[in-house]
Structure 1
Amino acid sequence: MIDLYTWPTPNGHKIHIMLEECKLPYRVHAVNIGTGDQFQSEFLKISPNNKIPALVDSDGPDGNPISIFESGAMLIYLAAKEGKFMPKSDRAKYEVLQWLMFQMSGVGPMLGQAHHFRIYAPEKIEYGINRYTNEAKRLYGVMDKQLQSQPWIAGKTYSIADMAIFPWLRSWQNQGIDWADYPHLKTWFDRISERKAVQKAVQVLADARKPLLDDKARQALFGASQYKKR
């Protein structure tokens, strides 16, 4: 059984999608990042960087429990465990992995900064808004070009790279994006949105999430609580 410690954010949704696509049984443990659950000692034992998601698999590679944090590592682990959504050939596998790394190093951090400066920052800083909105548009352009001649981000088959990228694009309006500028990416986005496993996955804990705009949430996410030594 997999115990998943998560919250309905893009990084959480990546793993919800993978688990639903693989039809794996899992227990959900809500980690409310707006109230500071991510700083609890029990959670820090499995996620020392105090970020969601994290998982504990009671049936690890050697038959013993294993805990994993970092959503990209979790996707790779689950793909290996189930033998799904990762190509077998080395060439195709590395194609998937490079686009997964593209999401981890680019799409997630840069779109997260766009969200911060456009929505959550206590003061509107034009430089920050422009910088990260423009970077969001650049990244969308890279993905749109990649999808001009193939159905999925890493080639002919749906993979963990698609699962990693998709949740971040669900907030396209918050990123200053006009889908009309990225028709190939929009087709890909709609195709994934129609998958039953994805529709089920994005509903995990959906009713629990509230706008993260109150003082307590700001303190937990962006204030001194985030930088306290533990």
Structure 2
Amino acid sequence: MIDVFSWATPNGHKIHIMLEECGLPYRAIPVNIGAGDQFAPDFLAISPNNKIPAITDPEGPDGKPISLFESGAILVYLAGKTGKFLPARDRARYEVLQWLMFQMGTVGPMLGQTNHFRQYAKEKIPYAIERYSNEARRIYGVIDKRLSHSEWLGCSEYSIADIATFPWLRSWQNQGIVLDEHPHLKAWFEKIAARPAVQRAVTVLAGLRKPLMDDKAREVLFGKTQYEKH
């Protein structure tokens, strides 16, 4: 059984969705990032960047246990382990991987900053809010254009590119997005949201997450605790 050390965030839900879609047995171990669980030595041993998610698989590729951090790497690993959601054909495989990298390098970081400055920052900085809200609209436009001529984000098949990107777009309202302005993206989003595996996955650990962030959690996530040696 795979252990997934996670929390109910977009990056956590990527892996929850993949595990549910693949039908792999797993155990979700909560890492409360607002309480500082990500700095525990046992967690840092498998995730040295102190970020969720991370996994341990007792049945690694050589028959020995393996641990992995970084959600994109975990998705590629699980796709390789199961032969699902990453095409074997070279062209389609590279198309999927480029959109996975787009999620890892652009969608996640930029929408993360959008959420931060619009929702969580104690000081409302107009320049930052405008900067990242505009970037969010640009990103949604890029995805919508892609989906105007492709049923799925990565290739002609549902893949880890879709699985990685979908959770980050669930907060579209908080990101200042009007979903109706992106009709191709909206249709894609609703199609993924209707998948039974996705519906199960987005409930994983969700009951443990506080809807509002208190000052202690804000300090742990964004303050000096984040930059101390652990």
Point out the more displaced range, 3-12 or 145-154: 145-154
Point out the more displaced range, 88-97 or 211-220: 211-220
- Which residue matches 1:41? 41
Give the TM-score taking structure 1 as reference length: 0.99
Q: After the TM superposition, which parts of structure 1 deviate over 4 Å for at least 4 consecutive aligned residues?
A: none
Alignment of structure 1 residues 87-126 onto 2, 5 Å: 87-126=87-126
The 3-state SS of whatever aligns with 1:175 is: coil
Deviation of the 1:215 alpha carbon: 1.2
Percent identity (aligned): 68
- Which residue matches 1:164? 164
Report the Cα distance in structure 2 between the residues aligned to 1:59 and 1:86, rounded to whole angstroms: 20
Encode CA deviations 1:87-143: one digit per residue, 9 max, x unaligned. 011110000000000000000000000000001111100000000000000000000
**Matched-pair contact (CA < 8 Å) for 1:141–1:182:** yes
Residue identity in the other structure for 1:173: Q
Report the Cα distance in structure 2 between the residues aligned to 1:154 and 1:58, rounded to whole angstroms: 30
- Which residue matches 1:197? 197
Report the Cα distance in structure 2 between the residues aligned to 1:220 and 1:85, rounded to whole angstroms: 35
Alignment of structure 1 residues 1-40 onto 2, 5 Å: 1-40=1-40
Report the Cα distance in structure 2 between the residues aligned to 1:212 and 1:15, rounded to whole angstroms: 24
- Which residue matches 2:181? 181
Give the TM-score taking structure 2 as reference length: 0.99
Residue identity in the other structure for 2:200: K
Point out the more displaced range, 194-203 or 146-155: 146-155
The 3-state SS of whatever aligns with 1:28 is: strand
Q: CA RMSD in A?
A: 0.6
**Matched-pair contact (CA < 8 Å) for 1:212–1:218:** no
Report the Cα distance in structure 1 between the residues aligned to 2:87 and 2:115, rounded to whole angstroms: 33
The 3-state SS of whatever aligns with 2:27 is: strand
- Which residue matches 2:67? 67
- Count of aligned residue pairs for this structure pair: 230
- Which residue matches 2:216? 216
Deviation of the 1:219 alpha carbon: 1.1
Deviation of the 1:212 alpha carbon: 4.5
- Which residue matches 1:52? 52
